[in-house]
Every structure is written in structure tokens, then in C-alpha cells.
Amino acid sequence: MNYIVFDLEWNQSPNGKKYSHPQMPFEIIEIGAVRLDDSFQVTDTFHRLIRPSVYHWIHNSIRDVIHVNYRDLQSGVPFPEAARDFLDWCDYEYIFCTWGNQDVMEFQRNMDYYGMLHLLPPPVIYSNVQSLFGLQFDGEESCRSLEYATEFLHINKEMDFHRAMNDAMFTAQVLSHISLDILKMHPTLDVYQHPESKKEEIHLQFPSFSKYLSREFISREKAVKDREVTSTRCPLCGKNARRTVRWFTPNNRVYYSVSRCADHGAVAANMRIRKTADEMYFADKTIWMASGEDIDAIHRKRDAMKKKQGNCSDTEQLRK
């Protein structure tokens, strides 16, 4: 198994969000990557500058951070060429690793713009090293900066941050400090390529949890009333678990529930109803074996919601 640790730099409309291309809000201008073997040893590197085709000037704030101007990029290659070279370089039997959750999504969005998404078929599963760092050293998922992580681990910082090759190398060095147990137990499923039909729905079983991506629905209300969307199955045995805390949402963004498997005990679940670019909706559900702390946290969220809002509407608490 190879670990492909990559980082992207991208540009956006120099005239502000109002003038962004709807299919390309962020245009990738640099790819940097490090290939690690299963011992976390560097076996190769990859780097490409990309000649822009959507935004023909560099946004001031981006230029100030990455210290690249538009003229520098004229020696780059078109994105389709860079993307194909990168995927060819990845070879086979690899897993992507990135700092945070945006690079994998933006890589797919740029591929989609050029009609290349078939080269990276779903489900796209990767390791979010930022999240893994939090689990390893903070005891929970967190959003520490890459610079913080390098300082915490006393990694040499002779290279500048915010260049794709350098940040990929820093991320690879942080990854080498993550235990294999945490790495294997906490993969991330990217949802950019979500199912459109019932046949395409995604059910995945991981060592410590299960994931479900639903088909598209015409409204949030339709999604949260679907029986499959609201079902809770034990992630260990797959049997239906009996609901003990009905689905609720304290913020109209994330739904929570608690159930009990007759064979394996407490099961917790959370779910996001995500909106697509085409004004459709789909469910992104995670189910895991719950600790006492998990259950207490969900109970606190439910109690705080009840105290603040009183009785919930149908879209705030699901009766199924």
C-alpha cells in the first residue's frame, strides 16, 4: 500500500466571489505530492505548476500567501495534463492523504470541470491527516494548523509553508507520527461524487463505523422522511438497532440519534443533509459503537435544543 500525500494551491476570482465561475470557484494552480511506502518512507515526489485557463490573474490575498504571480504560471502545464500525470504517478493500491478535507474535493471539482471525473471513480476514500493528528495528540478530531503540528512534533521548518510541495512534505512528516491503529480506524469518505439514484447509494463498512450516502431527494423534508435514511443498523453485525433517542437536530445542519443493538450495545449516529449544486439533497450518515461519553454528549445536545426551542417541528425531530 502506498500513501499519496498531496497538497494543492489554488486561485479564485481576482474580482471577488460575485465574479466566480459557478463550476470552478477555485482553480488549482499547483500540485505537490509525496509517495510513502507502508513504512512511511519517501519513495518519490511529484510537482506541477498549472497554467490557468479560468482566472487570468492571481487574487491579491493568494499571491501574498503563496508568493506566486500569474507570470510564474505561464510556464506551467494545462490542468488536464497535470491531473493525468499525477494519477499515473500515483500508480495502484494507494490511499490519498491530505491536510484537511478540501483538497480531495477541489481536485475532483477541477477534474469535473474538464470532464475527467471518470478517472477517479467513487467512492473516494482518503486520510485526513489534520483530523488524525487531533485524534492522536488531542484525543479528539480538531482543526489544528499544519504549522502548529510541525511545531508540536519538532519538525524542521526550513521550508516555507503554503507551497504545494513543501506542505505535502510537512504533512507526510506529520503522518509518520500517527499510529497505524488510528490511521486504519479513521478513514474519510469524500462526498463530492454522491449517488444520484437508489442503485448508486453507498453503504461502506469500516473497522469502527459504517457510512451511508443516499440518493438525491427534491427537498430536505423528503430526505429526512425516507426509511433508509433514518434507519440505524449496528456497524458490527448490520442488524437493525432499536432507537432510544430519536433523530433530532439542534442546528438544522447535523442530526443525531442513539440506538441499541441487542447483541453489541449502544449505537450512535449522526447525519448531514447536504445540498447539491443542482438544488437537490442527499444524506451523509455515520454510525458507530457509542461510548458513554458519546451518549452523554448527544443527550446534552438534545436537552439544550429542547430548552432553547421547545417542541421541535417535523424537520427538527424525526418520529421514525
Cell 515526489 appears where?
Answer: 45
Supply the CATH number for residue 56's domain. Answer: 3.30.420.10
Looking at the fold, whether 50 and 132 belong to one and the same domain comes out as yes
159-191: per-residue pLDDT in tens?
A: 888 899 999 999 999 999 999 999 999 999 999
C-alpha cell at 164: 504545494
Which of 12, 35, 31 has the alpha carbon at shortest distance from 22? Answer: 12
Burial of 149 by CB count in 10 Å (0-12 exposed, 13-18 middle, 19+ buried)?
A: buried
Looking at the fold, whether 58 and 115 belong to one and the same domain comes out as yes
Q: Per the confidence metrics, is the pTM higher than 0.85?
A: yes
Looking at the fold, whether 255 and 151 belong to one and the same domain comes out as no
Looking at the fold, whether 158 and 203 belong to one and the same domain comes out as no
Domain that residue 260 falls in = 195-309
Measure CA 190 to chain center: 5
> For residue 312, is pLDDT > 60?
no
Looking at the fold, whether 22 and 70 belong to one and the same domain comes out as yes
Q: What is the mean pLDDT of the chain?
A: 93
Q: Is residue 302 part of a domain?
A: yes
For 64, residues 6+ apart whose C-beta sits below 8 A from its C-beta are none
> Among 26-30, 159-163, 286-290, which is the least confidently predicted range?
159-163
- Residue 143, SS3? coil
Alpha carbons 31 and 250: distance in angstroms, whole number: 39
* The last residue of a domain, from among 150, 185, 220: 185
Looking at the fold, whether 130 and 209 belong to one and the same domain comes out as no
Looking at the fold, whether 175 and 206 belong to one and the same domain comes out as no
> Among 29-33, 93-97, 213-217, 251-255, which is the least confidently predicted range?
251-255
Q: Is residue 316 part of a domain?
A: no
Q: How many CB atoms lie within 10 A of CB 179?
A: 11
For the chain, the domain total comes to 2
Looking at the fold, whether 16 and 151 belong to one and the same domain comes out as yes
| Residue-level pLDDT at 314 | 43
Mean pLDDT across 103-117: 98
Q: Is residue 93 part of a domain?
A: yes
The answer to whether residues 312 and 303 touch, using CB atoms and an 8 Å cutoff, is no
* The last residue of a domain, from among 185, 204, 231: 185
| Residue-level pLDDT at 310 | 64
Q: Is residue 130 part of a domain?
A: yes
